[in-house]
Amino acid sequence: EIVLTQSPATLSLSPGERATLSCRASQSVSRYLAWYQQKPGQAPRLLIYDASNRATGIPARFSGSGSGTDFTLTISSLEPEDFAVYYCQQRSNGPPGFGPGTRVDLK
Amino acid sequence: QVQLQESGPGLVKPSETLSLTCTVSGDSVGSYYWSWIRQPPGKGLEWVGYVYNSGTTYYNPALKSRLTMSVDTSRNQFSLNLKSVTAADTAVYYCARYQMLDWFDPWGQGTLVTVSS
């Protein structure tokens, strides 16, 4: 079973700053890595699939990169609505799984 | 636009069976893979399992012995049954379309199920 690790656990930033979130897999997942945003009381929302493809309606300030075991979600300039928890998710030959999440909060 | 809506009891007694249904609108339930994901209060996301119209299923190994999922094309719904529940099964349960067996989109709003006597 592949384990995902996310860092940092919490990222404290101000609006307008750049956010860089990391997701590392215990073994290669090729490019089968997705990112989700979750706000309190809401369901997760797909942001990025297959490592770097933005989902429909997702603003261009969100971008994903990486392959193999190391992946990054970048928010180029934080908007007030971007403060939330972000999860990565992999699918491999085994069961799909999620990382523990990174909380992006207001500094 | 595809929309998903979970329904079912919000309270289940320990040792009983948790049963949830997800109603799909805007798409045919027979055309895709569908999944359940849960989130204990204040914690992260846990994949539960997925089902396809053909009866194909794949369950989280940790839940496999207690879990059954199925599709009802006549009602455009899919369902989850988790037996012998304990307090550890208390969570918000989300249904989602499992696109390309790769990513989950869209998601239902989620339903909180509490296991308590």
- Mean pLDDT confidence for B24-41: 95
Residue B45 has a pLDDT of 98
Chain A residues with CB under 8 Å of B44 CB are 87, 98-101
- Rounded CA-CA distance A47/A57 in Å is 9
Report pLDDT digits (tens) over B71-99. Answer: 999 999 999 999 999 999 999 999 999 99
- On whether the CB atoms of residues A44 and A36 are closer than 8 A, the answer is yes
Q: Helix, strand or coil for residue B67?
A: strand
| Residue among A41, A54, A48 at smallest CA distance from A84 | A41
Tell me whether B16 touches chain A (CB under 8 Å). no
Would the pLDDT of A57 be above 90? yes
Among A104, A107, A94, which Cα is nearest to A35's? A104
Per the structure block, which two tokens stand in for A19? Answer: 């956010």
What's the mean pLDDT when you consider all of chain B?
A: 96
Contact list in B for residue A57 (CB cut-off 8 A) is none
Using the predicted structure, report yes or no on whether residue A81 has a pLDDT greater than 90.
yes
Greatest alpha-carbon pair distance for chain A in Å reads 40
